[in-house]
Amino acid sequence: MEKGRAFLVGAGPGDVQLITVKGMEAIKKAQVILYDRLANPKLLDYAPADCELIYCGKLPDRHVLRQEMINDLLVEKVLEGKIVVRLKGGDPGVFGRVGEEAAALAENGLSFDIVPGITSGISAPLYAGIPVTHREFGESFAVVTAHDKSENGQPKLDWKGLATGIDTIAFYMGISNLPYISKNLIKHGKPADTPVILIQWGTFSRQQTLEGTLSNIAAKAKEVNFTNPAITLVGDIVSLRKKLNWFEKKPLFGKQILLARTGTDESELAKELMEQGADVIEFPKWKKVTVPVDRAVISRISAYEEILFTSPESVREFLRILIAERIDIRRVKANFYGCSTKSVKSLNEKGFMAKLEGEMPLSGKLLVVGDSDITSEYPHAEKFITSKKMIDEQFTPIFKRVIEEASVNTIILPSSRAVKTIVEEGIIKEIIPQQLLKTARVVSMGVRTANASEKYGIIPDKVLEAPDKTSVINCLASKEPELSFV
């Protein structure tokens, strides 16, 4: 058997767009991914459908897999001839134990690449409006671990050198040791009024900050129960935040959105929401498998007067099948319709003048094209199944963990099919807490979607007249008063 290869990849600090090109390329060809808690799980969406996903995350109070077990598993999978990605938050070489994992691979004669990532000690401050160096505030910068392997976890550092020789210091995961850090820096010469900022979940929309000084930051953090994952940045450079704070001014900053999905394509809506500052959890993760072509339908393709496409994917799959079956598109005489604006757009991009489903006449010979999730809204129509769609169960524990850690405050329902999915696959199966329907703001994209929601007992807080991404963003960015819940 051929030996495989490992890629030890830095996933960046959280914002999925901050991964390197080389890191993304490794994910896209991976056969196995061993990923950490701080690697944004949305990156796993880019992995092949048959990729094995293994969670290696660590929490302050427990380890899912200890480091020695991770090393052994990494070696084992590479020896099986697999392309293995070890996906680590931030940069693997900055407190990421990449040296230990690379050593395990090297000792077994296995090939590996180390792919750097953007470390949180630099990126989290930047997303809080603070560059870590500046000619007027400091020309030296240090990254320091805020805990070590000792019994009490308090690192033995060159406190004198840090306090008097370094302008700006980034402590990683230092919240529990804040009193110890502050005391030692002041004791060894750092002024007690030196500015300090704590940045939790940096580069995410749930980013939280807390400002103070060495003399009071520990008490402030205790008062509000500030927790890791967080960066503690110490230095006069923190004062730049007042002028340069850019990320938290994005229109959707603070929005943690649960977006119901019915398609396998990358969501343009999700991309735009994230661009505007939101965190987006897309549920569920779908995968598709091919099905035998229904040649009986293909043989009478010229007889249909209307063809309704249920998704953009169904448009591409239908055209791909016609080409594979050597059917000239000019044999299709039907008018084309789409169940959504995305479906219509996909048809338009292929050169077809299509309309929305609502404009379709109810008479005439109709063919509905879609995956195995086609509903029976048109009992007299013929159906053409292009593929079988199923939920990727590998992502179920990932969703549970992400929703548990996030504070979802907005739910977006794009279609009636999405409503059915989020209820039957999410809430009934207890992947999504039912309480979210009461505590989060529910936005329905269109009246039909709202009607479907109400059948399941979900009353939308907002129904959009135009079911498109611009309307969604304008709605969420509007300065409406926050909903209050009993």
Residue 150: predicted pLDDT: 65
CB neighbours of residue 300 within 10 Å: 11
Q: How far is residue 205 from each of residues 42, 202, 250, 271, 274, measured CA to CA in Å?
A: 14, 8, 9, 14, 8
Q: Is this structure's pTM higher than 0.85? A: yes
Q: Supply the pLDDT for residue 65.
A: 81
Write out the H or E segment, with its range, that includes residue 250.
none
Q: Of 118, 151, 172, at which residue does a domain stop?
A: 118
Question: How much is the pLDDT for 466?
Answer: 82
List the catalytic residues.
36, 58, 173
What's the CATH code of the domain at 144?
A: 3.30.950.10
Same domain, 281 and 426: yes
For the stretch 404-419, pLDDT in tens is 989 999 999 998 889 9
Do 374 and 337 fall within a single domain? yes
pLDDT at 156: 85
pLDDT of residue 59: 57
Q: In this structure, is residue 368 part of a structural domain?
A: yes
276 and 405, same domain (yes or no): yes
**What does the alpha-carbon distance between residue 463 and residue 444 come to, in Å, rounded to a whole number?**
5
| Tokens, residue 381 | 């129509």
Q: Based on the fold, state whether residues 21 and 53 are members of the same structural domain.
A: yes
Phi and psi angles of residue 261, each rounded to the nearest 5 degrees, phi first: -120, 145
User: Is there a single domain that holds both residue 165 and residue 30?
Assistant: no
Residue 80 lies in a domain: yes
Please tell me whether residues 198 and 244 are part of one structural domain: yes
User: What is the CATH number for 363?
Assistant: 3.40.50.10090
- Measured distance CA(239)–CA(219) in Å, rounded: 20
Distance CA 182, CA 286 (A): 48
Residue whose token pair is 């594979």: 324
- The per-residue pLDDT for range 77-88, each reduced to its tens digit, is 999 999 999 999
- Looking at residue 362, its pLDDT comes to 83
Q: Note whether residue 486 is domain-resident.
A: no
Please say whether the beta carbons of 269 and 472 come within 8 A.
yes
Of 348, 365, 390, the residue that ends a domain is: 390
- pLDDT in the model for residue 481: 43
Is 483 within a domain? no
- Judgement on whether residues 98 and 10 belong to the same structural domain of the protein: yes
Domain boundary residue among 346, 375, 390?
390
Q: Do residue 168 and residue 261 come from a single domain?
A: no
Domain that holds residue 212: 122-248
The CATH code of the domain that includes 44 is: 3.40.1010.10
The count of structural domains within the chain is 4
Q: Is residue 158 part of a domain?
A: yes
Domain presence at residue 61: yes
Question: What pLDDT is attached to residue 58?
Answer: 64
What's the CA gap between 85 and 39, in Å, rounded?
12
Strand partners, 338: 309, 356
- Note whether 273 and 400 are same-domain residues: yes
The phi and psi torsions of 249 (rounded to 5 degrees) equal -95, 0
Residues 237 and 322 in one domain: no
**Do 184 and 157 have their domain in common?**
yes
For residue 440, what are the contacts with CB-CB under 8 A and spacing of at least 6? 258, 408, 409, 410, 411
Inside any domain, residue 265: yes
Residue 482 has what pLDDT?
A: 41
Same domain (yes/no): 385, 469 = no
Bond into 284 cis (ω within 30) = yes
Q: What is the pLDDT along the chain (486 residues), one digit of tens a residue?
A: 577 999 999 999 999 999 999 999 999 999 999 999 999 999 999 999 899 999 997 655 555 688 899 999 999 999 999 999 999 999 999 999 999 999 999 999 999 999 999 999 999 999 999 999 999 988 899 999 987 666 677 888 999 999 999 999 999 988 999 999 999 999 999 999 999 999 999 999 999 999 999 999 999 999 999 999 999 999 999 999 999 999 999 999 999 999 999 888 888 899 999 999 999 999 999 988 889 999 999 999 999 999 999 989 999 999 999 999 999 999 999 999 998 888 999 999 999 999 999 899 988 899 999 988 787 678 889 999 999 988 999 999 999 999 998 999 999 999 888 999 999 999 999 999 999 999 999 999 999 899 999 999 999 999 998 878 899 999 999 865 443 322
20 located within any domain:
yes
Exposure on the CB side of residue 198, measured as CA atoms within 13 A: 29
